[in-house]
């Protein structure tokens, strides 16, 4: 990726999450706990779904991909953040900043589209059960998986392309603990009004529309479940409720960050911290704790490979 001719900034100085040493220690311990306990749990979910033939349904195929995306997403910001806690000067190169920004939106956009695909899967399974095996066949599932990866790439490359066109000639102090669009744009030495509008449209508006569409789709599904008298009614309600919780965790902070004009608020860093570090690792765990089939399969896998 070539830098603009008028860009003379070669690195950004990250101001970090907080200047309080006690708070930094607390955050360090919190992230370490998540990496030691929660992150292996995400990989356990992936291995369980891959190894258990009983979890071959499309729902579990997409859950495994959700765990993979979230685990990958957690490596974009947190490791560097842990290192920066012990660094006097928190510096990231211009190219490193752009790379971090790219993968942040690539994986984040892909996960948002994956939640849309999972909602579609639940709609067909609950509202059109007779057509489920035809619509959600393996070929269609892989096609949707490819589409969401491609969608995430297109979303991210638009972000990066707009950033690369901006000149950066100083200052280079980034008021955050990682590189993201709102803070980076503010450092450009040119009028960024049009670019900000394009960013809000690309990230904010699409995020809001996906969020409202997902809530509406699950409302339709739950209404359909409420009218039915099937034996799997409670299981369907539990699954949909779990999906809604994950949607709120995923889209809530993103809407707060990207749908408003890029004006710094005191809550930005805290919300960004939970959005980029804590919630991604929690999403698959929340789903697993509410799914009896996955929990049973995980216990069986652990007992056969650890106990004996």
Residues in CB range of 170: below 8 A, 6 or more apart: 8, 9, 189
Question: pLDDT (tens digit, 9 = 90+) per residue, 231-286?
Answer: 667 878 888 888 898 899 889 999 988 887 667 777 888 899 888 888 887 887 78
Residues in CB range of 274: below 8 A, 6 or more apart: 253
pLDDT score at 232: 65
Number of domains present in the structure of the chain: 1
Residue 261 lies in a domain: yes
Considering the chain, what is the average pLDDT of its residues? 86
Task: Decide if pLDDT at 305 tops 80.
Answer: no
pLDDT score at 4: 47
Residue 213's domain spans which residues?
A: 11-307
Nearest to 107 by CA among 61, 141, 164, 66: 66
pTM over 0.85: yes
> The domain that contains 41 carries what CATH number?
1.20.1070.10
- Of all residues in the chain, the percent with pLDDT exceeding 90 is 34
Residue 166 lies in a domain: yes
Question: pLDDT (tens digit, 9 = 90+) per residue, 121-159?
Answer: 999 998 888 999 999 999 999 999 999 999 999 999 999
Length of the chain: 308
Residue 302 lies in a domain: yes
Distance of CA 1 to the CA centre of its chain: 24
Q: In which band, very low, low, confident or very high, does the pLDDT at 5 lie, cut at 50, 70 and 90?
A: very low
How many Å apart are CA 308 and CA 302, to the nearest integer? 9
Residue 5 lies in a domain: no
DSSP state letter for 85: T
Residue 2 lies in a domain: no
Contact 170/9 with Cβ under 8 angstroms?
yes
Contact 113/145 with Cβ under 8 angstroms?
no
Measured N-to-C along each axis, helices 94-127 and 206-227 cross at an angle, to the nearest 10 degrees, of 20
Question: pLDDT (tens digit, 9 = 90+) per residue, 27-59?
Answer: 888 888 888 878 888 888 888 888 888 888 898
Task: Decide if pLDDT at 101 tops 90.
Answer: yes
Rounded to 5°, angle at Cα 184 from 77 and 248: 55
Residue 6 lies in a domain: no
* Angstrom distances, CA of residue 182 to CA of 173, 188, 196: 13, 11, 8
Any idea which of 19-33, 81-95, 220-234, 235-249 has the lowest mean pLDDT? Answer: 220-234
pLDDT score at 1: 45
Residue 262 lies in a domain: yes
C-alpha distance across the termini of the chain, in Å = 51
How many Å apart are CA 273 and CA 71, to the nearest integer? 15
Residue 3 lies in a domain: no
Strands 91-93, 11-14: parallel, antiparallel or unpaired by DSSP?
Answer: antiparallel
């Amino acid at each position: 990726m070539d830098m603009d001719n008028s860009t003379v900034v070669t690195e950004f100085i990250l101001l970090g999450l907080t200047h309080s040493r006690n708070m930094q220690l607390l955050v360090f311990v919190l992230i370490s706990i998540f990496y030691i306990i929660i992150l292996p749990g995400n990989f356990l979910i992936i291995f369980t779904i891959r190894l258990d033939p009983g979890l071959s349904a499309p729902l579990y195929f997409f859950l495994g991909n959700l765990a993979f995306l979230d685990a990958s997403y957690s490596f974009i910001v947190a490791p560097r953040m842990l290192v920066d806690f012990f660094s006097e000067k928190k510096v990231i190169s211009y190219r490193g900043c752009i790379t971090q920004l790219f993968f942040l939106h690539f994986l984040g956009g892909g996960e948002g589209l994956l939640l849309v695909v999972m909602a579609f899967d639940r709609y067909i399974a609950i509202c059109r059960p007779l057509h489920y095996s035809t619509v959600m066949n393996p070929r269609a599932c892989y096609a949707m998986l490819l589409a969401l990866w491609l969608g995430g790439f297109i979303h991210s490359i638009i972000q990066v392309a707009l950033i690369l066109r901006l000149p950066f000639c100083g200052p280079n102090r980034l008021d955050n603990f990682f590189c993201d669009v709102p803070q980076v744009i503010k450092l450009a030495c040119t009028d960024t009004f049009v670019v900000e509008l394009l960013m809000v449209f690309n990230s904010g508006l699409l995020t809001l529309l996906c969020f409202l569409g997902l809530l509406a789709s699950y409302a339709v599904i739950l209404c359909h479940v409420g009218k039915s008298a099937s034996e799997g009614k409670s299981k369907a309600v539990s699954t949909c409720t779990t999906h809604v919780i994950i949607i709120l965790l995923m889209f809530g902070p993103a809407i707060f960050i990207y749908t408003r004009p890029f004006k710094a608020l005191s809550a930005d860093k805290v919300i960004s911290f939970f959005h980029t570090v804590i919630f991604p690792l929690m999403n698959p765990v929340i789903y697993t704790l509410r799914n009896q089939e996955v929990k049973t399969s995980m216990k069986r896998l652990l007992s056969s490979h650890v106990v004996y």
